[in-house]
A and B are shown apart, each in its own frame.
Chain A
Amino acid sequence: MQNKQSIEVVNEDAIRRTLTRMTYEIIERNKGIEKLVLAGIQTRGAVLARRIARRITELEGVSVEVVDLDTRPYRDDSDGEFTLEPAEAAKINTVDQKRVVIVDDVLYTGRTIRAALDALTDQGRPEKIILAVLIDRGNRELPIRADVVGKNLPTSQEERIQVCLSETDGKECVNIVK
């Protein structure tokens, strides 16, 4: 096995700062938090969505709805063994007329986001959907872009981006693994 090289490119402080800035940008883009729903893509997107929701609550004094989005049933590369029915993917009462923010950790090919869009639109017709990602690493395979970006990290396809969050990985960092 080859030795893999891992370089930390974003540290704990920068993650916290970036999420705070993304929170402001989400509020500013929506011109408020009315009708806002944060849809975090499991696993780390869901963690980030909850953190952003906490910041919004601190800033605005009102809590926003957060839902976990499981995109697996909608993926175009899955082997057909779904663990849940499509309708359960997003446990939102209704997305009709809501302004949904899809939150994910890394934006890469865009395929996950396409699946997330399918999952959401299966539930109804949101007034608006925007995309917020912590890392945009480029190399898109679909015409998808993020509205709120934490950090742009141009990478090659041989590299891998590893996002570690304390809730899931016990530490806070973003690494490039070659």
Chain B
Amino acid sequence: MNKRILVLENGEVFKGRGFGSTKETIGEVVFNTGMTGYQESITDQSYNGQLLTFTYPLIGNAGINRDDHESIFPTTRAVIVKEYARRPSNWRSQMNLDEFLKEKDIPGLAGVDTRKLTRIIREYGAMKAILTDAHKNIPDLLKQLKEVRLPSNQVAQVSTTTPYVSPQKGRRVIVVDYGLKHSILHELNKRDCHVTVLPHDTQAETILNLKPDGVMLTNGPGDPKDLPEAHDMIRQIQPHIPIFGICLGHQLIALANGADTFKMAFGHRGFNHPVREIATGRIDFTSQNHGYAVDELSLNKENLRVTHVEINDGTVEGLRHRRYPVFSVQYHPDAAPGPHDGAELFDQFVESMDAWKENRNNA
């Protein structure tokens, strides 16, 4: 076992054993509180550029299977666990976590008190960290950490560069890929939607020319303010077409309509975030993965209405446009991984596409 260390920007050092890839890596260290679903999380492109810490103490016991990948080329920077299972036990398992991370060239670190690490992140906020070999000089590493600037083109790194379709009979839906999870395509296909996936920098004109029934804006990594072209695109298409945004897509819709977003201290990452739907008072437990949030005070009340809020800290979790058939949620209704409470938002999307089409035909 090679000894490795994790050095945080605030000088904190965690010693552990390396597994997976042996390369050195720098990124933002974040934590996920989910007890399951490590495979989906590791392959979720929203973790692009981040060192992903699992608070649950044993990760990898069901191995890695071929069904639960959320992307083909995951770009999570590192996986930090208390203990990883070397010998998984599950009928679907194809390989263990170590083999998988080696194959995807993602370094892992085991033997870390991930709950202590989480407390530190909760206190100081998400910060930069470096995962490297134990013999390196810590002051040098800290200096290196201070100087490094994390990339801001994360969406460009993970979005598809060429359009493709995920065919199905039925409604024509365009998915704008900011770092999509395969489960989104799965949920749409399941509901009789023929999906065309377009790159993140697609122009509004291209989308409108395809005459879709609806447009979905996906989840993705990074700061929504790094994508000003996307705001323009949304402003141009929203009067003409139903839009459903999740996660980054939700933040982009907010920005496009004059609201502001901010970076949260340590974000929401996990599956146990209770969200209240204001209209009905219904509580859903949701799967979340976001480090930025929409600022409620900045909302232009002429344009947008808050439809969902997080119960613990009051974060805006859902929006709806007051004039156009546009709605969005901050959480991941595709629930991969996580509780399926929110899956019906896809039904809602399908219903609003149908209603919109019907209205247009009658008008």
**B-contacting residues of A (Cβ < 8 Å)?**
13-14, 16-18, 20-21, 23-25, 27-28, 55, 58-59, 145, 149, 151-152
Closest to A146 in B: B362
Which residues 264-296 in B have Cβ within 8 Å of A in the complex?
277-282
Which residues from B are CB-within-8-Å of A16? 280, 282
Which residues from B are CB-within-8-Å of A27? 322
- Residue pairs across A and B with CB atoms within 8 Å: the count is 40
Cβ of A59 and Cβ of B305 under 8 Å apart?
Answer: yes
Cβ of B344 and Cβ of A13 under 8 Å apart?
Answer: yes
By Cβ-Cβ distance, the 3 closest A-B pairs, closest first, are: A55-B279, A20-B279, A58-B279
Cβ of B281 and Cβ of A24 under 8 Å apart?
Answer: no
Contact-residue bracket for chain B: 10 to 19
Q: What separation, in Å, do the CA atoms of A20 and B280 have in the docked complex?
A: 8
Tell me whether B144 is interfacial, beta carbon within 8 Å.
Answer: no
Which residues from B are CB-within-8-Å of A145? 362
Interface residue SS majority, chain A = helix
Extra contacts, 13 of them, besides A21-B352, A23-B279, A59-B279 (Cβ < 8 A), are A14-B347, A14-B351, A16-B280, A16-B282, A17-B351, A21-B348, A55-B279, A55-B280, A58-B278, A58-B280, A149-B355, A152-B354, A152-B358
Q: What separation, in Å, do the CA atoms of A149 and B357 have in the docked complex?
A: 12
Tell me whether B323 is interfacial, beta carbon within 8 Å.
Answer: yes
Q: What separation, in Å, do the CA atoms of A27 and B323 have in the docked complex?
A: 10
Tell me whether B320 is interfacial, beta carbon within 8 Å.
Answer: yes
Which residues from B are CB-within-8-Å of A25? 355
Q: What separation, in Å, do the CA atoms of A4 and B340 have in the docked complex?
A: 35
Which residues from A are CB-within-8-Å of B354? 152
Closest to A18 in B: B351
Cβ of B352 and Cβ of A20 under 8 Å apart?
Answer: no
Which residues from A are CB-within-8-Å of B320? 24
Cβ of A17 and Cβ of B344 under 8 Å apart?
Answer: yes
Q: Whole-angstrom distance from the CB of A142 to the nearest CB of chain B?
A: 16
Which residues 184-221 in B have Cβ within 8 Å of A in the complex?
none
Q: What separation, in Å, do the CA atoms of A24 and B326 have in the docked complex?
A: 11
Which residues 320-363 in B have Cβ within 8 Å of A in the complex?
320, 322-323, 344, 347-348, 351-352, 354-355, 358, 362
Which residues from A are CB-within-8-Å of B347? 13-14, 17
Cβ of B322 and Cβ of A28 under 8 Å apart?
Answer: yes
Q: Whole-angstrom distance from the CB of B34 to the nearest CB of chain A?
A: 25
Q: Whole-angstrom distance from the CB of A57 to the nearest CB of chain B?
A: 10
Which residues from A are CB-within-8-Å of B344? 13, 17
